[in-house]
Chains A and B, each alone.
Chain A
Amino acid sequence: MRPVLSVHEVTKKFHQVVANDRVSFDVMPGEIHCLLGENGAGKSTIAECIYGFHRPDGGTISVRSKELDLRSPSDAIRSGIGMVHQHFVLVPSMTVLENIVIGTEVATAILDMREAAERIAEICRRYNVEMDLNSRVSALTVGQQQWVEIVKALFLGAEILIMDEPTAVLTPQESRRLFAIFREMCESGMSIILISHKLDEVMQSDRVTVLRKGKKVGTVETRASSKSELTNMMVGREIDLGAPRPRGVIGSPMIELHGLCAQGDLGTPALNGMTLTVHRGEIVGIAGVAGNGQKELFETLTGVRKATDGRVVFDGKEVTNHSPRDIQKAGMGHIPDDRFSEGLVPDFDIQSNLILGAQREPAFSKMGFLRFDAIRQFARDSIEAFAIKAPSAQTACRTLSGGNAQKVIVAREFAQSTKAILANQPSRGLDIGVIEYMHGRLTDKRDENFAILIASEELDELRSLADRIVVIFKGQIVGEFRHDAVDLERIGLLMAGHTGEAAAKTSVGEA
């Protein structure tokens, strides 16, 4: 069989940074081809070269043995290439329908939105995607926004579809649904280039090309390979995230929630009387499908969202509805789930983003003037500790790879918190090496008597890390498990809202 797409010796430089160094690989018809590599390895860059978004400095890209001259995405689209970008390319203030319609053939001179809606609804039905076409994108969760991007790509009907970390913000169930869609597409002869850090997903592909520091390490048949071999190719050693970790000594309460209630962005109740205690030296994991109040819980705890009822006590002091700055100063760090819009100022450089919020601390400023030598030193240390791949501490954050931008936030919140860390989906988009490092740091902090609260959809991550797992459903804690009594099956049922029989067997916590 002849490949549909051949990438041959493609090189792409951004000033000094060589993002891709003579990368070559082939994609066969009907194949799911994974690109795997550490954060900053050059996966997005090669994908964007294929999509005509970046112009390579060398090498060729051919479709069906015909060399392409890719000057803009329109050339790629014409050759049957489609792409879902790592960061959303959506208009938040417009409806889902408008976002999908734009630039497609259903966008006739005079728009017929009813006709367009029918055609899109048909695609949704065919691939079994549920979506409210008339809601504004800004009102959607990150997971829902990802589906908008996916339907956008499906609607364009490409022959070769590039998906840059589409599952990073999806729940495991949703990821499975996406893979079912992939399979269906491949059976009809389409090809998919998938970028993912989740090895479970990578193992479902047909072939994997591993990149490392911009260079290709190799292409392997997935069936003939294993997770550990792929990890080894990617980072040069073996890593097992699921390995059990030493447990800590649990102390007195640090964060106490008493019947906490709060509303979501649309004014509907998101937290319904949540009661939970996180102790010193304890990691509590929140298991739950995204959108069940995790975001609102973290925002209410950090003072960003108003609690409508109930109390928050932090380190013995009442902090309900205190300002975010007060709560942060009291020692609480927060890693939000929507990092690009909430955690970073993309146009600022790395060092400024690293001290954001702490700029008034004596360590970084003196009489209102910033102490740049101290800031630079701190930035260098953080960059080294978290292996942030960037030319210098003065690099603007928007030029960082997705995972590296995220490390900046994690590094900052680790450094600024003194008593507690709240993290919503902290390992999203991070490569396995960084996740391992972060887990190690979280355990260290726990051992330093921090209280740590983590929400994650990766149950394996929670099982390895957390001393206690609570299950959140519709803004309430519906189950609680000590680390030595974790029952993944029951957690799964509770996450899906099956309270009845499953809950009866579960020791419901303080609630």
Chain B
Amino acid sequence: MGDLFQETILIGIFAATIRIATPLIFAALGELITEKAGILNLGVEGTMLMAAFAGFAGSFVTGNTLAGLALAMVAGGLMAFLMVFMAATLKVEQVVTGLALNMLAAGMSLYLFKVYFETLSLPTAEVMPYLPIPVLADIPWLGPIFFQQKGLTYLAFLMVPAVWFFLYRTKWGLEIRVLGENPKVIDTKGMSVTLRQYGAVILGGVLIGIGGAFVTIGSVVRFVPDITAGRGWLALVIVIAGNWRPAGVLLAALVFAFLDALQLQIQGIGVDLPYQIFLALPYVIAIVLMVAKSRRGRSEAPARLGIPYFRGER
């Protein structure tokens, strides 16, 4: 009996890890593409929040979660458009822009929610169903952990090699990586720096948007203010901890998700441990990793991250 009990707990923790990692992977991959293009989008949290709201609203109105997802992607893209317009066209300080986006999203999602939904008592929206994969779902241990999840979760894991392939095996990926290292290379070859920055940042925003959607229509029927609860900030940390590599991002997202799952479980059992420790842990781990890495050398951080490009500059 005892063994069985432990087994279900462990499977529960690991399955929760995979589920919790889903929005983190999407958001961190989106931010990874953005940063590879040399643009530091600190508005991940806000972008996720707007997308979470859009996903909820879309699903609520149409009763279709896919419509919600589409709306969330549009919202993510729009937020990213704001970011890149400020950063690439107006060349405004990127840190300030990102922070402003977060405030905008916090205010706007709350406002829109109040105006359109507060009057209804307990508005709920359709949530994505679980999609167990036939045969695989029945494998002991692995089945319940990996193959009894939602569609977006499978997609998140498929996105990791896809983003890797895009960045390292396609010409657009190469161009994006060059943007982050030395945009003058792109300019002197007669290619538009701005166009590519828009492309990369908006693509990143759409991915972040999918991550945001998972927080609402991927998980719960309701929307509450600040529902993303710091996942966007965590995504930023994941990109750093993952050393700007897709595989690293996956690993970091899984570690942080595991910590969260563990924390939920420990709380559920009623062990008296301040949960703030678990909230701070990812950041502590990230700092330790960064120090360890800087001593070993070779960071994959884009050389021109956050620095605007001007043609006349030499």
Contact = CB atoms under 8 A, between A and B. Distances in A.
Interface of A: 14, 51-54, 72-78, 83, 85, 87, 89-94, 98-99, 101-104, 107-111, 346, 398-399
Interface string B282-314: 000000000000000000000100000001111
Nearest to B298: A93
Interface of B: 169-172, 174-175, 177-178, 181-182, 184-192, 303, 311-314
B182 A107 contact: no
Give the top 10 A-B pairs by smallest Cβ distance, nearest first. Answer: A74-B190, A103-B189, A107-B171, A73-B190, A77-B190, A91-B181, A91-B182, A89-B188, A89-B184, A398-B314
Given A72-B190, A102-B185, A93 B174 contact: no
Nearest to A86: B314
Contacts of A76: 190
Given A51-B188, A73-B187, A99-B185, 7 more contacts: A89-B188, A98-B174, A102-B185, A104-B189, A110-B169, A346-B314, A398-B314
Nearest to B184: A89
Contacts of B171: 107-111
A397 to B, nearest CB: 10
22 contacts: A14-B312, A51-B188, A53-B188, A72-B187, A72-B192, A73-B187, A75-B190, A77-B189, A85-B188, A87-B314, A89-B182, A89-B185, A91-B178, A92-B181, A94-B178, A94-B181, A104-B189, A107-B171, A109-B172, A110-B170, A110-B171, A346-B314
Contacts of A52: 190
Contacts of A77: 189-190
Contacts of B184: 89
A418 B303 CA distance: 37
A365 B190 CA distance: 47
A102 B178 contact: yes
A101 B188 contact: no
A111 B314 CA distance: 30
Given A110-B170, A111-B171, A111-B174, A83 B182 contact: no
Contacts of B175: 102-103
A53 B312 CA distance: 8
* Centre residue among A72, A73, A87, A91 by max chain B CB count within 10 A: A91
Nearest to B314: A398
Contact of A73 (B178, B188, B314): B188
Contacts of B182: 89-92
A83 B312 contact: no
Contact of B190 (A54, A92, A94, A103): A103
B190 A111 contact: no
A93 B170 contact: no
* Centre residue among B171, B177, B181, B313 by max chain A CB count within 10 A: B171
Contacts of A346: 314
Nearest to B180: A91
Contacts of B312: 14, 54
Nearest to A77: B190
Given A91-B178, A102-B178, A111-B174, A74 B313 contact: no
B188 A90 contact: no
Contacts of A103: 175, 185-186, 189-191
Contact of A102 (B174, B303, B314): B174
A148 to B, nearest CB: 12
Contacts of A73: 187-190
A91 B170 CA distance: 17
Contacts of A99: 185
* Centre residue among A94, A104, A346 by max chain B CB count within 10 A: A94
Contacts of B178: 91, 94, 102
B101 to A, nearest CB: 27
B189 A102 contact: yes
A458 to B, nearest CB: 26
Contacts of B313: 398
